[in-house]
Amino acid sequence: MGFFNSVEQKIKEGAVVVDVRTMDEYEDEHFPKAINIPVNELSARVAEIGPKDKPVVLYCASGARSAMGARILKALGFSDVVNAGGLYDMPGF
């Protein structure tokens, strides 16, 4: 199974999709059902994501901020975190 398929599978299985871009970027365009928590607010708003054992898929514009977000979540104890890259890397977008 390729990376793209694993991201798609996690989303189908109910992963929380988090857009770590700014609110303006999110409002302009975002993945369906994604929640917006800018990467610089992630630590403070982590409760919005839910249980730490639930799969989380992060994306941003290029993959850099979502990589940072994945590191933050893993450091906070989230066990299943995937950096999906940029918005246009998301399955079906």
Is 32 among the residues known to form the active site? no
* DSSP class per residue in 44-84: TTGGGT--TTS-EEEEESSSHHHHHHHHHHHHTT-SSEEEE
Catalytic pick among 37, 39, 42, 60: 60
How many Cβ atoms from other residues are within 10 Å of residue 30's Cβ?
A: 18
Give the integer Cα–Cα distance in Å for 20 and 86: 10
Enumerate the active-site residues. Answer: 60
